[in-house]
Structure 1
């Protein structure tokens, strides 16, 4: 997992559990469909 560059490093020290980090990634329907297309083309190879 990569940390967002816009987020200061000290923020992670003071916030052990940031709100941005979720147990299950929540993505919009469009992004989800796009990810499925990318995964399909990836597995097709």
Structure 2
């Protein structure tokens, strides 16, 4: 793997983590404070 490929992978991982953190923050702001509650709401 080249250095540029490693940098791209790190960038994608960082971007994915940022998206997940933003989603958690948004859910928390809406009053969903636990992951289990969020999962139960998504399940039928």
What TM-score do the two structures reach when normalised by structure 2? 0.40
Q: Which has the higher helix share?
A: 2
